[in-house]
Amino acid sequence: MTTIDTVTPTPGRTRRGANGAPDENGPGLRQALLQFASKQYLVAVLIVLCVAVGLAKPSFWGTGNLSNVLFQASFVGLAACGMTLLIAGGLLDLSVGGVIAVSSIAVATVLPHTTIGGAIVLALVIGAVLGLINGLLVTYVKIAPFIATLGTQYLFLGLAFIWTSGKVVPITSSHFRDATTGKLGWLPVPFLVFVVLAVLTFLLLQRTYFGRTVRAFGSNERAAVLAGMPVNRSKVIVFIVAGVCFALAGVFMAGRLSSAEGNMATGFEMNVIAAVVVGGTALRGGRGTMFGTVVGSVLFAVLANALNLLGVASYWQYVLTGAVLIAAIAVGARRSSAAEVRGAG
């Protein structure tokens, strides 16, 4: 897993991967391994955490519990795929909770009348439309992303409450529940979808012209504009893709709760941003690591599961999520200011 720019814009430039892929040189290999280890310290943290929890509570390693952890991780993870794209582009979306609420209410409302596929497509379309609204506000009305989406968060939540009159919309279709909460072997379906989406997002971000544009304006918007890249259009598309990812998370959340309501995902944006940032995607934009996002999502699910197993009050999860997020950003800020020349990666 590297985050190297494989499409170098000018043929004359040599690749200078600060994150060290084992390129051509033999002696670089050991260094590359070291660099990989220092970069993926999060995996080590995750393993240590799992071992520690496993020692304290052996039931952690039960297949049922592990499958449950992956199940929990996939909701944050699905939304985090879109958020990684946004953050790599120097953008942000705080309206995650609103998008999830509206799209899953749509699923719950239409499900008695249509097929499961139709309902899911409708949810994704709604996610895309809400993302489009965010994108237009940020790009053409020129409102800073985090505050524009803070405003639309309340707009969307208001819409969700008005639509349901504040009630819970139940999902009666057992087929839908089976489809969204089922398992293949012991791997839950949402987790498989999450992995597929993560791979797709990785390819989108690292292997396409669009992804390169996103990273370019995330790193330096003015330079990207001057280079003639379609910055505004790409920004809107990133918001749309993110909206679709959030809606997908909403579909599975609705399946798990077998209902949908306005409050179902309030405060969810914190967990999503935390998973992305802890995974190593820097908030200042310019690069994103999908592998880190996957590890970050699983890490938070393990953490929550551990707290539950250890019988800690669930309120501590608020405190812990916030504290871990601050720590990750503070460490990232220190590392980047100490070691990194901007644009080297």
Partner 1 sequence: MSDTIANPSATEALVADERARSAERARRADSRRRLMQNAGVLIPFLIVLIAGLAAVPNFASSSNVTNMLVNAAILAIVGYGMTLVIAVRGIDLSVGSAQALAACVAAAAVNSMGPVVGALVGIAVGAALGLANGLLVTQLRVPGFVATLSTMSVFRGLVLLFTGGAPIMIASVGFKSVATAKVLGIPVPFLVAAALGVAAWFVLDRMRFGKHVVAVGGSPEAAVDTGISVNRVLLLAYLVAGATAGIGGVLLASQLGVVNGSVAAGLELQAIAIVVLGGTSMAGGRPRIVGTFIAALLLTMINSGLNLLNVPSFYQYVALGALLVFALSIDGAQRAAVRRMLEGRHS
Separation CA 245–CA 293 (nearest Å):
14
Cβ proximity to partner 1, 244 vs 282, nearer residue: 282
CA distance 75 to 70: 9
Residue 147 binds partner 1, judged by CB under 8 A = yes
Out of 158, 170, 182, 343, the only residue in the binding site for partner 1 (CB under 8 A) is 158
CA distance 216 to 212: 6
User: Whose Cβ is closer to partner 1: residue 32's or residue 88's?
Assistant: 88
329 binds partner 1 (CB under 8 A): yes
**Which residue is listed with tokens 């100490």?**
338
- Minimal distance in Å, beta carbon 133 to partner 1? 10
Instruction: Pick one of 26, 64, 184, 315: the residue that binds partner 1 (CB under 8 A).
Output: 315
Candidates 165, 174, 184, 338; binder of partner 1 (CB under 8 A) is: 165
List helix spans (H) across 58-115: 63-88, 96-110
Cα–Cα dist 57/135, whole Å: 45
Q: Tell whether residue 283 is a contact of partner 1 (CB under 8 A).
A: yes
The answer to whether residue 159 forms part of the interface with partner 1 (CB under 8 A) is yes
Name the percent of the chain in helix, strand, coil, to the closest 5: 70, 0, 25
Partners of residue 128 on adjacent β-strands: none
Choose the stretch contacting partner 1; rule: CB under 8 A; options: 53-61, 136-144, 178-186, 301-309. Answer: 136-144
Please tell me the distance from the alpha carbon of residue 81 to that of residue 179, in angstroms, as a whole number: 21
Contact in structure between 285 and 88 (CB atoms under 8 Å): yes
The CA-based dihedral angle spanning residues 62, 65, 71, 76, taken in that order and rounded to the nearest 10 degrees: -120
Give me the least distance between CB of 90 and partner 1, in Å please. 12
Nearer to partner 1, 17 or 145 (CB): 145
Number of residues counted as binding partner 1 (CB under 8 A): 47
Q: Please, are residues 88 and 3 in contact by the beta-carbon 8 Å criterion?
A: no
Stretch that binds partner 1, among 63-71, 141-149, 201-209, 239-247 (CB under 8 A): 141-149
Smallest Cα–Cα separation from 121: which of 129, 57, 266, 237? 129
Binds partner 1 by CB under 8 A, chosen from 22, 28, 151, 230: 151
Stretch that binds partner 1, among 1-9, 74-82, 171-179, 323-331 (CB under 8 A): 323-331
Whole-angstrom Cα distance, residue 342 to residue 294?
A: 25
Residue 166 vs 182, nearer CB to partner 1? 166
- The DSSP string of 221-283 is HHHHHHTT--HHHHHHHHHHHHHHHHHHHHHHHHHHHTEE-TTTTTTHHHHHHHHHHHTT--T
> Which CB atom, from 168 or from 320, has the smaller least distance to partner 1?
320
What residues between 223 and 262 interact with partner 1 by CB under 8 A? Answer: 262
CA–CA separation, 181 vs 256, rounded Å? 6
Region binding partner 1 by CB under 8 A among candidate stretches 51-59, 116-124, 140-148, 208-216 = 140-148
Closest to partner 1 by CB, 47 vs 326, is: 326
Asked if 341 is part of the footprint of partner 1 (rule: CB under 8 A), the reply reads no
Stretch that binds partner 1, among 103-111, 220-228, 268-276, 288-296 (CB under 8 A): 268-276
Side chain identity, residue 205: L
Through-space distance between the first and last CA atoms of the chain, rounded to whole angstroms: 14
- Judged by beta carbon, residue 64 or residue 311, the one nearer partner 1 is 311
Residues 152, 173, 289, 305: which binds partner 1 (CB under 8 A)? Answer: 152
What residues line the site for partner 1 (CB under 8 A)? 94, 137, 141-144, 146-148, 150-159, 161-162, 165-166, 262, 267, 270, 273-274, 277, 283, 313, 315-323, 325-326, 329-330, 333-334, 337
